[in-house]
A and B are shown apart, each in its own frame.
Chain A
């Protein structure tokens, strides 16, 4: 899961990035409106957390420009502006959610998960695929009813594959989804995570499509 964080406050931005990394999200962090506009248009993020009071370009303008360019990325406004007219203006400008500072880290995480569920049209919170059961909230995975211990990155790779069962995801796409800008990426990291997943789950669960990427085998209905 790759999230763009737009926040000009150093301390808060640092906290949010750390808090989202704890649940396996990759976070890219920009600190002003112009950078935000560029990042939103260039990259394919799963969600954007947007502050409104930004230097150089107000958050609402970033939002309006993204929507004017038909960018469908889920956007959550995170701001100190708490009046009802502010919330209405934010949602009507194209935001998918609105959270007022100070907020609870758990609530921010939950709202992001909800946005991601809605974005792929999944209604249920727990993803089930054959004998595999992944709970993004409890951060737990069960296989054939028995709990499986996964690291944050292994979990992130599995969750990404589970979002699109039966479809091939390339290695760069998987890397993009689980690493932020600052993170160091080992060239064979994805292969290592897939290898671990196969070992902990079922060797036949994840198929390698040589030269293209990886695919989670869709269970027969």
Chain B
């Protein structure tokens, strides 16, 4: 069952109030009982002393015990006057003929005809006379009961009222929560703006803060998703538009030369669109991946040599020298196909941006905490302000012609992430060109 904050508060508050009230009532009852006890004891003692004082000096001379005429059999008090241990001189009508209590002096408790009595024995000084006054114990209980009743009666009336007050207070106390819930409920699904935090009570603030953090992350991811879709549409539409236009130009061409040119352009366009689609597919495959199922220990220099060989023709075409600097056998754990794609992308980028006659170098070396892969060119480099942005999908540096898809570095970054490696872009030697450094973690064990 769903827990209710209100019900919980109601139970806790009502229980606490009831408990406090019961404890107070119990203490008052005990206190009243003990007060009544001492009061009645004092009265009992006084009665015994009064009786002793009123004894005629000649009582001792009288013979048989006589019952006092004024004492009714049902009276709550009884008394005896004893002369010595065996001679009962006087008694009330309801008192037995046997001695009430064996005590000579002070209080004691006895059972008489199934009832409890409290007895005070008063030994008259300088004589053998003992006066005993008894009082039914039930009287004390009755009095204490009546005090307790007086205490409990208002409680019976006050408790429902108190319950209502508690309910109202709890409801009023929970109002900000209700308001917050309503605010969230009434939002339209696209609204991911933060909730206003200053107006929220301190107790709810952590929740609202966490909600706002969640909204923020959702906003960012939605925004990225939206931008990627928009960018992908744009990036796909432009080459398609180019293909269609060139095809229609070819259809309407009036000269052999114009037709030839348009057809050549169509081939170039299809190549470019193919590359773009391949890169989009690669990103789409990499995106949901969280781990590398095909990971194994690989020699990075060996893989690099294959990639360098693959790109050598492209470099030669642009008059760029390609060099590999990888003397030692550096092992990394990873996916061979992805690592090859990573190095091909880096080399492709470097060759595209390298001026003719310059050199692009790929180097692998072992470091204390892993393996470092570096690809350096002597091209224009990337201004510091744009180094983070070039990792964004479809981002192209201002003023650089849009030959690439704008996805290469995004793919590189994703592959780097999947390998638990880190990516760093920095200027090359002497501040010229660009060096991309990938730091792979050391192999475990």
- A residues touching B (Cβ–Cβ < 8 Å)? 8-12, 14-16, 18-19, 22, 31-32, 53, 55-56, 80-82, 100-106
CB of B262 closer than 8 Å to a CB of A: yes
Given contact pairs A10-B401, A55-B399, A106 touches B248 in the complex (Cβ within 8 A)? yes
A9 and B242 CA atoms in complex are apart in Å by 8
A-B contacts besides A19-B248, A55-B399, A81-B230, 12 pairs, CB < 8 Å: A9-B238, A9-B242, A11-B242, A11-B243, A12-B238, A15-B245, A15-B248, A18-B246, A18-B249, A80-B237, A101-B240, A102-B245
A-B pairs, top 6 by smallest CB distance, nearest first, are A15-B245, A101-B241, A12-B242, A80-B237, A102-B241, A105-B248
Q: Is the CB of B252 within 8 A of A9?
A: no
Cβ–Cβ < 8 Å partners of A82 in chain B: 233, 237
Q: Which residues of A contact B248 (CB under 8 A)?
A: 15, 19, 104-106
Interface window among B265-273, B345-353, B428-436: B265-273
Are B244 and A102 touching (Cβ within 8 A)?
A: yes
The one of A14, A18, A19, A81 that contacts B234, using a Cβ cutoff of 8 Å: A81
Query: What residues of chain B lie closer than 8 Å to A56, measured between beta carbons?
Result: 398-399
Q: Is A80 in contact with B242, judged by CB distance below 8 angstroms?
A: no
CA distance A56 to B402 in the complex (A): 13
* In-complex Cβ contact of B252 among A22, A80, A100 (8 A): A22
CB distance from A63 to the nearest CB of B (A): 18
Q: Which residues on B sit within 8 Å (CB–CB) of A11?
A: 239, 242-243, 246, 265, 268-269, 272
The reply to whether the CB of B254 lies closer than 8 angstroms to some CB of chain A is yes
A53 CA to B241 CA, complexed, in Å? 14
In this complex, what residue of A is CB-closest to B273?
A11
Question: CA of A82 to CA of B398 in the docked complex: distance in angstroms?
Answer: 24
- Cα A11 to Cα B398 in complex, Å, equals 19
Q: Which residues of A contact B262 (CB under 8 A)?
A: 15, 18
A14 to B269, CA, bound (A): 11
A22 touches B254 (CB 8 A): yes
Nearest chain-B residue to A51 (Cβ)? B238
Q: Smallest Cβ distance from A182 to chain B, in angstroms?
A: 14
How many residue pairs between the two chains, A and B, have CB atoms under 8 Å in the bound complex?
88
Give complex CA distance A10, B248 in Å: 17
A16 touches B245 (CB 8 A): yes
Closest to B402 in A: A8
- Interchain CA distance A10-B233 in the complex, whole Å: 18
Please measure, in the bound complex, the distance between the C-alpha atom of A86 and the C-alpha atom of B211, giving whole angstroms.
Answer: 32
Cα(A116)–Cα(B259), bound, Å: 28
Q: Is B265 within 8 A of A80, CB to CB?
A: no
Which B positions have Cβ atoms within 8 angstroms of A?
230, 233-235, 237-246, 248-249, 252-254, 258, 261-262, 265, 268-269, 272, 396, 398-402
| Complex interface: chain B residues within 8 A of A102 (CB) | 237, 240-241, 243-245
Nearest residue (CB) in A for B244 is: A102
Contacts of A22 in B (CB 8 A): 249, 252-254
Chain B: which residue is nearest A19 at the CB level? B249
Report the nearest A residue to B403, measured CB to CB. Answer: A10
Which residue from B238, B244, B246, B258 sits with its C-beta under 8 Å from A80?
Answer: B238
Which residue of B is nearest A23, CB measured?
B252
| A39, chain B: closest CB distance, angstroms | 17
B398, A15: Cβ atoms under 8 Å?
no
Q: B396, A55: Cβ atoms under 8 Å?
A: yes
Separation of A106 and B248 alpha carbons in the complex (Å): 8
Asked whether B249 lies within 8 Å of A105 as measured between CB atoms, the reply is yes
Task: For B253, list chain A residues within 8 Å (CB).
Answer: 18, 22
- Which residues of the other chain, B, contact A106 by a CB distance below 8 angstroms? 248
A104 touches B237 (CB 8 A): no
CA distance A101 to B243 in the complex (A): 11
A221 vs B249: C-alpha distance when bound (angstroms): 40
Q: Given A18-B262, A55-B396, are A105 and B242 neighbors across the interface (CB < 8 Å)?
A: no
List residues of chain A with CB within 8 A of the CB of B243. 11, 102
Inter-chain contacts of A32 with B (CB < 8 A): 399
A158 shortest CB reach to chain B, Å: 19
Give CA–CA (A81, B241) in the complex, Å.
13
Question: If the complex has contacts A11-B268, A53-B234, are A19 and B399 also in contact, measured as CB distance less than 8 A?
Answer: no
Q: Are B246 and A15 in contact, with the CB atoms below 8 A?
A: yes
Please indicate the chain A residues that have their CB under 8 angstroms from the CB of B272 in the complex. 11
How many angstroms from the CA of A56 to the CA of B401 in the assembled complex?
Answer: 11
How many Å from the CB of B28 to the closest CB on chain A?
Answer: 76
